[in-house]
């Protein structure tokens, strides 16, 4: 019975903590959808892949969202046609590389300022590396969920030849708009999204604001439901595997990193507050292990895997997860073994 109580407490605390940030992310996403012209957005994106990855990682300074809020924004970036490197860089780095998290970490680790800077540095390194790996794929759509690829509109002609759509959208049920041969638009998609793709001239301001609210409600309903499921799973796992068990994995230079990464994955704590959570371990764990927690936690955790599933297919999530874990482990292990 106490376990049920604990589980419910954990569930609600995760939900309460994440919901405002998801709302913030949805607001940013809706603003991006209706107020940012994709042509202009694409024009300012660097053409160089490395620069694009870096730029994506630094967008977090404009959209201070945590790991639940960044997913709607990353999804919007993808549908707006931003380079994969930008979207992946944003997805992995934005929860850490943003002013709110930087400030919170600074407050928590004032007497260990290197933690603050290494957190940002390691997060950027991991995010840019993974973004580069993902940009090896010229057309990311095979790794995205089908409903997202449908929203992405017309692919580049060169790419479109190589990847034939698996099933014609017309073979599904629904209402469609044939714009040109081969260009099909599903009309049951949210009106705002349809409009954003169809309309050439932007609608008047008042109408746009109303559509923004519509879109926000829609995205929040979709992602909020997923967040509830994710939080429930995270709460269940935390009750099934108590934190003490994870922490008892080890305190050695290697095992402490594994323990803290596992802890970060399971507790699914929001990146804006995780530094205070980590602070309670500051005296018992090495700086490397703390950094592993602070770098890996915001990238991938149990709770936001469910949200990631609304964007990526399972295979891509496994790549994201394994690569992020390996890179974090490697960087922090070097720190533990060589600097102490």
- Residue 244 binding another protein, by CB under 8 A: no
- Reading the block at residue 55, the tokens are 């730029």
Spatial contact of 216 and 69, defined as CB atoms under 8 Å apart: no
| Minimum distance from residue 112 beta carbon to another protein (Å) | 8
What lies within 8 Å, CB to CB, of 306 at 6+ separation is: 226, 227, 229, 230, 233
Spatial contact of 69 and 25, defined as CB atoms under 8 Å apart: yes
> Residues 123 to 142: which contact another protein by CB under 8 A?
133-134, 136-138, 140, 142
Sign of the CA dihedral 84, 175, 223, 5? negative
CB-wise, 90 or 285, nearer to another protein? 285
CB-wise, 19 or 133, nearer to another protein? 133
Q: Which stretch binds another protein (CB under 8 A): 9-17, 21-29, 213-221, 327-335?
A: 327-335
Q: In angstroms, rounded to a whole number, what is the distance separating the alpha carbons of residues 3 and 133? A: 42
- Residue 338 binding another protein, by CB under 8 A: yes
For tokens 């809020």, the residue is 69
Q: Which residues pair with 159 in a beta bridge?
A: none
- Residue 323 binding another protein, by CB under 8 A: yes
DSSP label of 156: P
- Residue 111 binding another protein, by CB under 8 A: yes
CB-wise, 18 or 49, nearer to another protein? 49
- Residue 340 binding another protein, by CB under 8 A: yes
Q: Assign 3-class secondary structure to 44-109.
A: HCCCCHHHHHHHHHHHHHCCCCCCCCHHHHHHHHHHCCCCHHHHHHHHHHCCCCCHHHHHHHHHHC
| Minimum distance from residue 252 beta carbon to another protein (Å) | 5
List 104, 148, 217, 254, residue binding another protein (CB under 8 A): 254
Q: Which stretch binds another protein (CB under 8 A): 192-200, 205-213, 219-227, 325-333?
A: 325-333
Q: In the stretch 193-232, what mask flags binding to another protein with x, by CB under 8 A?
A: ----------------------------------------
- Residue 77 binding another protein, by CB under 8 A: no
CB-wise, 200 or 338, nearer to another protein? 338
Distances 292 to 49, 157, 163, 226, 261 between C-alpha atoms, Å: 26, 42, 38, 27, 6
Residues that bind another protein (CB under 8 A): 110-111, 113, 133-134, 136-138, 140, 142-143, 163, 166, 251-254, 282-287, 315-316, 319, 322-323, 326-327, 329-330, 333-334, 336-340
């Amino acid at each position: 019975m106490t376990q049920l109580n604990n589980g419910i407490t954990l569930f609600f605390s995760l939900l309460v903590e994440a919901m405002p940030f998801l709302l913030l992310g949805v607001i940013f996403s809706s603003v991006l959808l209706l107020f940012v012209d994709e042509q202009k957005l694409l024009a300012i994106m660097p053409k160089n892949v490395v620069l694009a990855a870096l730029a994506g990682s630094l967008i977090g300074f404009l959209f201070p969202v945590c790991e639940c809020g960044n997913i709607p924004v990353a999804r919007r970036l993808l549908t707006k046609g931003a380079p994969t490197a930008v979207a992946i860089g944003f997805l992995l780095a934005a929860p850490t590389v943003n002013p709110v998290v930087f400030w919170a970490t600074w407050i928590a680790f004032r007497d260990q300022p290197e933690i603050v800077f290494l957190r940002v540095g390691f997060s950027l390194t991991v995010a840019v590396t993974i973004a580069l790996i993902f940009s090896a794929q010229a057309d990311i759509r095979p790794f995205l969920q089908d409903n997202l690829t449908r929203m992405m509109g017309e692919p580049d002609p060169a790419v479109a030849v190589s990847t034939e759509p698996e099933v014609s959208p017309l073979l599904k049920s629904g209402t469609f708009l044939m714009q040109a041969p081969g260009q099909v638009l599903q009309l049951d998609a949210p009106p705002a999204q349809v409009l954003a793709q169809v309309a050439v001239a932007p609608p008047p301001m008042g109408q746009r604001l109303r559509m923004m609210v519509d879109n926000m409600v829609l995205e929040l309903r979709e992602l909020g439901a997923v967040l509830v499921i994710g939080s429930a799973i995270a709460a269940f796992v935390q009750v099934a595997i108590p934190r003490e068990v994870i922490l008892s994995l080890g305190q050695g230079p290697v095992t402490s990193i594994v323990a803290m990464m596992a802890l970060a994955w399971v507790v699914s704590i929001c990146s804006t507050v995780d530094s205070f959570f980590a602070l309670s371990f500051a005296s018992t764990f090495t700086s490397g292990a703390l950094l592993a927690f602070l770098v890996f936690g915001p990238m991938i955790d149990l709770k936001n895997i469910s949200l990631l599933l609304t964007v990526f297919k399972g295979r891509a999530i496994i790549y994201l997860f394994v690569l992020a874990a390996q890179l974090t482990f490697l960087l922090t292990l070097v720190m533990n073994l060589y600097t102490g």
